């Protein structure tokens, strides 16, 4: 049988061999590979030219229908959304079990990575995501690759809902988090376990998981993701949560779930430009984005405050 296959391959014209697809099927704009008779993994369109595969906000379904059969989406495959520089946000399904290496590599507009409950293993999925600010790890996670956040220079918050610290492929992951000066937020009863766990023990800033991240996987009243479907309704600052929406306490680790939703939605409407480590809002008006002046100025001043701190650091270090 192997000899027959070898002969057939040698008889195929070179041009025909070059047309072999990188994916098994394509449904509603997303590409998938079969992983079993009943499951599929999301994959890339073209590993050499994936930049415009997906744009803006995407919803990944928990199941797909193809030729009369239903398949469960259980994995985001290797390089699935790598280099998708126009991808701002993904809504990941609770059917996922794994997120593989480089799944979101170099997604330069991705701001938050909220991994859903059900995922057990996460590879080097978010490396080189330059605007990534926060990473949320589910309670079901058991294994995480060392290079999950390599070169995510803006990362400042890691929230892990797992009561037992997930195992890293090696403890150098702690060095990466410390280099980013990340805050770690975990269940109150597990803080001491994280302090002594390999890799996790290199964090300096430990604290209890904020209420915004204590989301039960069985809750029907609280969305499972920080990334809700897009809408164009007017956005305004949350007045009764104003203590966390002022520059004096500009600390995302203290924001409530609602704060996160509003800021995330606002950022998705804005065009952010980044140069030499500095970020700013491109010239536009609040009215153009259907949001309040208060919220628009809050985010704009937030970038300005961050840039000022960075300039101060460069000055002190003689850069």
Burial class of residue 75, CB neighbours in 10 A (0-12, 13-18, 19+): buried
Same domain, yes or no: 84 and 162: yes
pLDDT given for residue 167 in this prediction: 93
Classify residue 6: in a domain, yes or no.
no
Same domain, yes or no: 123 and 246: no
pLDDT given for residue 12 in this prediction: 36
Classify residue 16: in a domain, yes or no.
no
Q: Which residue has the higher pLDDT, 172 or 316?
A: 172
Same domain, yes or no: 45 and 194: yes
pLDDT given for residue 78 in this prediction: 96
Same domain, yes or no: 206 and 246: no
Q: How many structural domains comprise the chain?
A: 2
Whether the predicted pLDDT of 57 surpasses 90: no
Q: Distance between CA 237 and CA 298 in Å, rounded?
A: 9
Q: Which of 2-11, 66-75, 130-139, 180-189 has the highest mean pLDDT?
A: 66-75
Same domain, yes or no: 69 and 209: yes
Tell me the residue ranges of DSSP E strands in the chain.
25-27, 30-34, 39-43, 56-59, 63-66, 69-76, 87-91, 98-99, 112-114, 121-122, 134-137, 143-144, 157-160, 167-168, 183-186, 205-208, 272-275, 278-281
Confidence of residue 140 (pLDDT cuts 50, 70, 90): very high
Same domain, yes or no: 28 and 104: yes
Classify residue 129: in a domain, yes or no.
yes
Classify residue 14: in a domain, yes or no.
no
Boundary-marking domain end, from 158, 189, 218: 218
Length of the chain: 319
Between 102-111, 143-152, 154-163, 228-237, the lowest mean confidence (pLDDT) is in 228-237
**217-266 pLDDT, tens per residue?**
333 323 333 333 344 566 665 444 444 444 444 555 555 556 666 777 77
Q: Distance between CA 301 and CA 317 in Å, rounded?
A: 24
DSSP calls for 130-164: TT--EEEE-TT--EE-TTTTTT-TT--EEEE--SS
Q: Which residue has the higher pLDDT, 72 or 295?
A: 72
Burial class of residue 263, CB neighbours in 10 A (0-12, 13-18, 19+): buried
**70-111 pLDDT, tens per residue?**
999 999 999 999 999 989 888 898 899 999 999 999 998 888
Q: Which of 178-192, 236-250, 303-317 has the highest mean pLDDT?
A: 178-192
Ramachandran angles phi, psi of 170, nearest 5°: -160, 165
pLDDT given for residue 312 in this prediction: 58
Confidence of residue 296 (pLDDT cuts 50, 70, 90): confident
Same domain, yes or no: 245 and 133: no
Classify residue 46: in a domain, yes or no.
yes
Q: Is 154 left (phi over 0), alpha (psi -120 to 50) or beta?
A: alpha
The CATH number assigned to the domain holding 156 equals: 3.80.10.10
Same domain, yes or no: 177 and 279: no
Same domain, yes or no: 143 and 180: yes
Same domain, yes or no: 206 and 240: no
pLDDT given for residue 222 in this prediction: 31
Confidence of residue 317 (pLDDT cuts 50, 70, 90): very low
Q: Distance between CA 27 and CA 94 in Å, rounded?
A: 19
> Alpha-carbon Rg of the chain, whole angstroms?
21
Classify residue 236: in a domain, yes or no.
yes
Q: Distance between CA 23 and CA 29 in Å, rounded?
A: 12
Q: Which DSSP state fits 209? A: P
Boundary-marking domain end, from 218, 252, 276: 218
**200-219 pLDDT, tens per residue?**
888 888 888 865 555 433 33
Classify residue 319: in a domain, yes or no.
no
Confidence of residue 113 (pLDDT cuts 50, 70, 90): confident
Boundary-marking domain end, from 168, 189, 218: 218
Task: Name the 3-class secondary structure at 17.
Answer: helix
Same domain, yes or no: 178 and 254: no
| Structure-token pair, residue 178 | 């410390």
Please, what is the average pLDDT of the chain?
75
**175-184 pLDDT, tens per residue?**
556 555 678 8
Classify residue 62: in a domain, yes or no.
yes
Same domain, yes or no: 63 and 204: yes
Whether the Cβ atoms of residue 84 and residue 54 lie closer than 8 Å to each other: yes
As beta bridge partners, residue 64 has 71
pTM: 0.64
Domain extent, residue 80, equals 22-218
């Amino acid at each position: 049988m192997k000899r027959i296959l070898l002969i057939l391959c040698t008889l195929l014209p070179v041009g025909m061999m070059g047309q072999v697809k990188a994916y098994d099927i394509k449904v509603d704009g997303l590409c998938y590979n079969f992983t079993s008779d009943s499951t599929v993994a999301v994959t890339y369109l073209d590993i050499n030219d994936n930049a415009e595969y997906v744009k803006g906000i995407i919803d990944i379904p928990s199941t797909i229908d193809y030729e009369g059969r239903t398949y469960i989406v259980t994995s985001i495959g290797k390089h699935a959304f790598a280099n998708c520089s126009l991808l701002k946000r993904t809504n990941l399904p609770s059917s996922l079990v794994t997120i593989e290496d480089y799944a979101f590599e170099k997604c330069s507009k991705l701001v938050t990575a909220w991994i859903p409950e059900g995922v057990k293993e996460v590879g080097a999925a978010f490396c080189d995501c330059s605007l990534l600010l926060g990473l949320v790890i589910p309670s079901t996670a058991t294994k995480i690759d060392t290079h999950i956040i390599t070169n995510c220079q803006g990362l400042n918050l890691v929230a892990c809902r797992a009561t037992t610290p997930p195992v890293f492929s090696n403890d150098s992951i702690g060095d990466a988090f410390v280099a980013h000066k990340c805050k770690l937020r975990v269940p109150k009863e597990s803080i001491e376990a994280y302090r002594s766990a390999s890799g996790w023990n290199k964090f300096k800033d430990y604290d209890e998981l904020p209420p915004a991240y204590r989301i039960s996987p069985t809750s029907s009243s609280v969305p499972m993701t920080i990334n809700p479907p897009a809408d164009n309704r007017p956005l305004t600052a949350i007045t009764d949560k104003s203590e966390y929406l002022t520059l004096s306490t500009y600390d995302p680790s203290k924001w409530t779930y609602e704060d996160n939703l509003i800021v995330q939605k606002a950022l998705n409407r804005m065009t952010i430009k980044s140069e030499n480590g500095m970020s700013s809002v491109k010239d536009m008006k609040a009215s153009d984005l259907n949001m309040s002046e208060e919220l628009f100025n809050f985010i704009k001043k937030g970038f300005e405050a961050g840039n000022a701190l960075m300039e101060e650091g460069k000055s002190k270090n003689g850069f």
